[in-house]
Chains A and B, each alone.
Chain A
Amino acid sequence: MSARVGVVVFPGTNCELDVAWAVEQLGGSAELLWHGERALDNADAVVVPGGFAHGDYLRTGAIARFSPVMESVARFAAAGGPVVGICNGFQVLTEAGLLPGALQKNAGLAFLCETVECRVETSASVLTGLATPGAVLRLPINHFEGNYVCDAATLARLRDEDRVVVRYVRNPNGSLDDIAGVCSEGRNVVGLMPHPERASDSMLGSEGGVVLLRSLLEAAAAGAAVAS
């Protein structure tokens, strides 16, 4: 049975079809979840994809956290379900309190779309289960607000608890401690600024995201097996 990935769509989201396509290329199945509805359609994993939810005219993710679907995503996460926020999705998850910290404007005060190198820091997360710590993946970033910040106590906890999932090899945006992605205490909620789905195919210049998406599908399938 292939893992079912629910992909959340807010008005203004624009990476939902890309995530769905990449998931399906890897043998998963994808279902779009409209933000105004609460049903997760029996998803085994949820991805909050990139884009500009509700236009992001306020602080990014500030409105999206109030969408009805986010209540269900929070419950799903609390029950241990795999949840991954990519780019704008990461911003939404921090706003929703599912992940610590916040994303502020890039240090260079410009939008950045480029492929960067990221180092896998832990394999203990739903997004990196199949990856080798220390492995360097080439992943595209595409954001204006990707500069990760948190307070000192939070940073200390993230480090102590091995919750920094990926770091930039060369920091492109000023992120604290080169952080590109973090996970929750339960390790089942992961947020990252780089786009694994944009590095899922050699034709796109990198396959660095494949191991991440495969990890997610495996975590989803494992969860589904436990549930049934």
Chain B
Amino acid sequence: MPVDQPLHRRLGLTDDELGAVVELLGRDPTELELAMYAVMWSEHCSYKSSRLHLRRLPSEAPWVLVGPGEGAGVVDVGDGLAVAVRIESHNHPSAVEPYQGAATGVGGIIRDVFSMGARPIALMDPLRFGPLDDARTRYLFEGVVSGISGYGNAVGVPTVGGEVAFDDCYRDNPLVNVLCLGLLPHDRLVLARASGEGNLAVLLGSSTGRDGIGGASVLASAGFDEGAEEKRPSVQVGDPFEEKKLIEACLALLDAGLAVGVQDLGAAGLSCAASETAAKAGAGMDVDAARVPKREPGMTPVEVLTSESQERMLAIVRPRHLDEVLALCDRWEITASVVGRVTDTGRFRVYDGLFDAVGVAGANPEPPRGDTPTPTSSDQTPAADVPVESLGDGPVYERERRRPAAQDALVAADPAPLLAERFPPGADLSGELLAVLASPTVADKSWVWRQYDHQLFLNTVVGPGGDAAVLRLKGTPRALALSTDGNARFCRLDPRTGARLAVLEAARNVACAGARPLALVNCLNFGNPEHPEVMWQFADVVDGVAEACTALGIPVIGGNVSFYNESEGRDIDPTPIVGVLGLIEELGDVPPAAALVPGHRIVVLGATRPELAGSEWAAVVHGLDGGRPPDADLDGARRLHEFVRDLVTERTVAGVHDCAEGGLAVALAEMAIAGGTGCTVTPEPGLEAAAWCFAESASRIVASVDARPLPDVLRRAAEAGVPAVDLGVAGSDRLVVEGAFDVSVTDATRAWRDAIPAALGATAAR
């Protein structure tokens, strides 16, 4: 942005938005006010382009305790326990500085979860990068993974899953989404409310520096052009040790009933946290910038209020509890400073030295005793004085939507005929199988998750690499299942269908663990919302998520929208990533693995159609990326999920695996690799072998079933309206699909396991 632009534009406000500020204040804003509106009304904080659409998502169910709009969504899981979940993106910071961008993403989401009173017990990281043959992509990939590892491991929250996909559209815009799940007793649930006039706002944790100023507006609410590197100062630096202490201190405060509300300082820093807590309580807040501990001298109130320094929390505390709060923070070696006071004015006012001036609330160094008088502000001009709700009540835009001109041609370019020509019946597909297995999106990701502590807290029954992570709830018979999914190639071809498919896949993974879906969170990653084509994609994706969630009875309890994932005017493919949380009523034993058992019959549940569009085989291996994505039949999916849930709960199946990228060929190969055994199967009649192997038809699950219960399983499938086919038998050391391929399990394992380490020049796991 040229320096000769007026200040409001440099801060990211449009002329119209400035006009709105002037109108609501009845005067020109001060510099601080302008800076606060700029961050709070930024796309990142205000959801101004998405809010209209997000209302269409279903968010209610009897077990939902807290829906969207709070730090995290919360659902009841029985026995007085509840689970808080949130997902967020840290795409832009990670593109500029991968280690710290990813690390602070982890830190931010953890704070959101413990601000609800929940102990964070699991993280998941859905990641998207460009092709691995690009040196910068390798730098971003390695940096992001070490940032997650470095922060997550040290802060003491296990990373139990996630997924990684690679596509050219993410070359300049990697996606770094992070989901955090927390566990809490119902009675510790707390909402970020600054209620009770005279209560104190206590800032906990790190001191405030000049880092991250304008992160929300400058970085996250605009695309990248050639100057991306210059945005590095807008990225913050994480301190997982400080965060670990903050988790313990905040949970101890809530356990002891010492805080009325807790809010994390994330995007827009103190101005957002303080005004939001007050606005939600229908109160007001006076903040004294002079009382905020600073990292360096000479920081102005504007810098203090908009800094995005990490590892800070705001606790709302009754004055009579202040001594105890300070003592507890002292034990955990975290700084605690009274920086504000709840008022009944309905105003958000910022002073610079107010509390000194009236000699109250001097908790630092001297805590106040007894009642603290209300400061009189008559003799001091506030640096900001605005209606408290106006900061969070930004503009709402109904942006123009337009179906992309090239969409029809894209959908018409069905890859099937070309592929049928290249691979006529009888063609040997062995090399094709190995190529798909070695495609980085399909290949083994243990290089990634070996770097994550995925076992802490002794809950991880199924960790990374499974269909869904399974976390037992110690002290109860129950367990949680969690999966994140999203396939942007399908969304590019048809956003609405692609979004449905993402929900179906995550729900299917959770069903494979024997769980009933309880809630969904989504992270909607898109290009520039000022491009009508992007808004068309966005609106359709919201509809797709809404339809699938309604059909499956899954409430959406939270989400995040990341726009402006564009570089040089090129938008990423629409990438909704959904996380589905499920509940297993009685875990009993470790759920069936995604593995074949020698001697077992292999059954596919669900229908296979010649749906090759957007498939790994067509789009990645052969570069044919057009066509119509697989059908997303919602009723059929629901029947399948319920049936699989029953089979898994009864342990009628010994192995079970979701069929997704790479189709049946990859599902079978992955189960063979995991089980250390081959198989011999016959494709279903009526389909060409190649299409049968690599089609990515939705709603299919491969199961390893003992021969004895097999007839019963097939009969019950028919009764449940779920297509089921006995494909063949597991055993031997070769992976054989009659008329398609015949490769050794060793070769398949090598292709799958070595691809990512080889691309990175690293050593594969043994």
Which A residues contact B (CB, under 8 angstroms)? Answer: 11-12, 14-15, 17-18, 21-22, 36, 51-52, 54-57, 108, 110-114, 140, 142, 144, 170, 195, 197-198, 200-205
Beta-carbon contact of B154 and A18 below 8 Å: no
Question: Smallest CB–CB gap between B225 and chain A, Å?
Answer: 34
Q: From residue 435 to 484 of chain B, which have CB atoms closer than 8 A to chain A?
A: 449-458, 460-461, 472, 474
- In the assembled complex, the Cα of A203 lies from the Cα of B470 at a distance in Å of 11
Question: Smallest CB–CB gap between A106 and chain B, Å?
Answer: 11
B240 in the interface (beta carbon within 8 A): yes
Can you name the residue of chain B whose Cβ is closest to the Cβ of A36? Answer: B331
Of listed A12, A144, A170, residue having the most chain B CB within 10 A: A12
B765 in the interface (beta carbon within 8 A): yes
Beta-carbon contact of A204 and B156 below 8 Å: no
Question: Smallest CB–CB gap between A62 and chain B, Å?
Answer: 14
A198-B458 contact, Cβ under 8 Å, with A14-B156, A113-B450: yes
Can you name the residue of chain B whose Cβ is closest to the Cβ of A17? Answer: B457
The prevalent SS among residues of A at the interface is: mixed
Beta-carbon contact of B450 and A18 below 8 Å: no
Beta-carbon contact of A110 and B451 below 8 Å: yes
Question: Smallest CB–CB gap between A25 and chain B, Å?
Answer: 9
Complex interface: chain A residues within 8 A of B450 (CB): 110-114
Contact of B244 among A14, A36, A205 (CB under 8 A): A14
Beta-carbon contact of B461 and A203 below 8 Å: yes
Complex interface: chain A residues within 8 A of B590 (CB): 202-203, 205
Beta-carbon contact of B457 and A18 below 8 Å: yes
Beta-carbon contact of B453 and A204 below 8 Å: no
Contact of B156 among A51, A112, A201 (CB under 8 A): A51
0/1 string, B678-707, CB within 8 A of A gives 1: 000000000000000000000000000000
0/1 string, B724-766, CB within 8 A of A gives 1: 0000000000000000000000000000000000000011011
Contact of A203 among B449, B452, B589 (CB under 8 A): B589
Beta-carbon contact of A11 and B332 below 8 Å: yes
- In the assembled complex, the Cα of A113 lies from the Cα of B244 at a distance in Å of 20
- In the assembled complex, the Cα of A198 lies from the Cα of B459 at a distance in Å of 10
Can you name the residue of chain B whose Cβ is closest to the Cβ of A13? Answer: B156
Q: From residue 122 to 180 of chain B, which have CB atoms closer than 8 A to chain A?
A: 146, 149-150, 153-154, 156
Give 19 CB contacts A-B under 8 Å. A11-B332, A12-B154, A12-B156, A12-B241, A18-B457, A52-B153, A52-B154, A55-B241, A111-B450, A114-B450, A140-B455, A170-B766, A197-B458, A198-B455, A200-B458, A203-B461, A203-B590, A204-B460, A204-B461
Question: Smallest CB–CB gap between B509 and chain A, Å?
Answer: 20
Complex interface: chain A residues within 8 A of B245 (CB): 11-12
- In the assembled complex, the Cα of A52 lies from the Cα of B472 at a distance in Å of 25
Complex interface: chain B residues within 8 A of A195 (CB): 455
Other contacts beyond A108-B762, A111-B150, A205-B590: 6, CB < 8 A:
A12-B156, A55-B244, A111-B149, A114-B450, A142-B153, A142-B453
Contact of B474 among A14, A21, A198 (CB under 8 A): A21
Complex interface: chain B residues within 8 A of A111 (CB): 146, 149-150, 153, 450-453
- In the assembled complex, the Cα of A43 lies from the Cα of B316 at a distance in Å of 39
- In the assembled complex, the Cα of A52 lies from the Cα of B242 at a distance in Å of 11
- In the assembled complex, the Cα of A108 lies from the Cα of B331 at a distance in Å of 37
- In the assembled complex, the Cα of A205 lies from the Cα of B455 at a distance in Å of 11
B333 in the interface (beta carbon within 8 A): yes
Beta-carbon contact of A113 and B461 below 8 Å: no
Question: Smallest CB–CB gap between A21 and chain B, Å?
Answer: 6
Complex interface: chain A residues within 8 A of B458 (CB): 18, 21-22, 197-198, 200-201, 204
Complex interface: chain B residues within 8 A of A201 (CB): 458
Contact of A11 among B333, B449, B766 (CB under 8 A): B333
Question: Smallest CB–CB gap between A87 and chain B, Å?
Answer: 10
Complex interface: chain B residues within 8 A of A112 (CB): 450-451
Question: Smallest CB–CB gap between B325 and chain A, Å?
Answer: 18
Beta-carbon contact of B455 and A204 below 8 Å: yes
Can you name the residue of chain A whose Cβ is closest to the Cβ of B464? Answer: A113
Question: Smallest CB–CB gap between A192 and chain B, Å?
Answer: 16
Complex interface: chain B residues within 8 A of A140 (CB): 455
Of listed B242, B449, B450, residue having the most chain A CB within 10 A: B450
Which 6 residue pairs are nearest across A and B when measured between Cβ atoms?
A55-B241, A14-B156, A52-B154, A111-B451, A111-B149, A18-B458
0/1 string, B352-374, CB within 8 A of A gives 1: 00000000000000000000000
Of listed A11, A17, A22, A52, residue having the most chain B CB within 10 A: A11
Question: Smallest CB–CB gap between A37 and chain B, Å?
Answer: 11
Can you name the residue of chain B whose Cβ is closest to the Cβ of A53? Answer: B241
- In the assembled complex, the Cα of A55 lies from the Cα of B246 at a distance in Å of 13
- In the assembled complex, the Cα of A96 lies from the Cα of B652 at a distance in Å of 54
- In the assembled complex, the Cα of A15 lies from the Cα of B158 at a distance in Å of 11
A12-B244 contact, Cβ under 8 Å, with A22-B458, A197-B458, A198-B458: yes
Can you name the residue of chain A whose Cβ is closest to the Cβ of B462? Answer: A205
- In the assembled complex, the Cα of A182 lies from the Cα of B740 at a distance in Å of 54
Contact of A113 among B332, B454, B587 (CB under 8 A): B454
Beta-carbon contact of A15 and B456 below 8 Å: yes
- In the assembled complex, the Cα of A201 lies from the Cα of B245 at a distance in Å of 29
- In the assembled complex, the Cα of A51 lies from the Cα of B590 at a distance in Å of 27
Contact of B765 among A17, A114, A197, A198 (CB under 8 A): A114
Beta-carbon contact of A56 and B154 below 8 Å: yes
- In the assembled complex, the Cα of A197 lies from the Cα of B461 at a distance in Å of 14
Question: Smallest CB–CB gap between B313 and chain A, Å?
Answer: 16
Beta-carbon contact of B452 and A113 below 8 Å: yes
- In the assembled complex, the Cα of A45 lies from the Cα of B248 at a distance in Å of 25
- In the assembled complex, the Cα of A57 lies from the Cα of B241 at a distance in Å of 9
Beta-carbon contact of A14 and B241 below 8 Å: no
A18-B244 contact, Cβ under 8 Å, with A170-B766, A204-B461: no
Complex interface: chain B residues within 8 A of A12 (CB): 154, 156, 241, 244-245
Complex interface: chain A residues within 8 A of B451 (CB): 110-113
Can you name the residue of chain A whose Cβ is closest to the Cβ of B152? Answer: A111
- In the assembled complex, the Cα of A100 lies from the Cα of B339 at a distance in Å of 49
Complex interface: chain A residues within 8 A of B453 (CB): 111, 113, 142
Complex interface: chain B residues within 8 A of A54 (CB): 241
Can you name the residue of chain B whose Cβ is closest to the Cβ of A204? Answer: B458
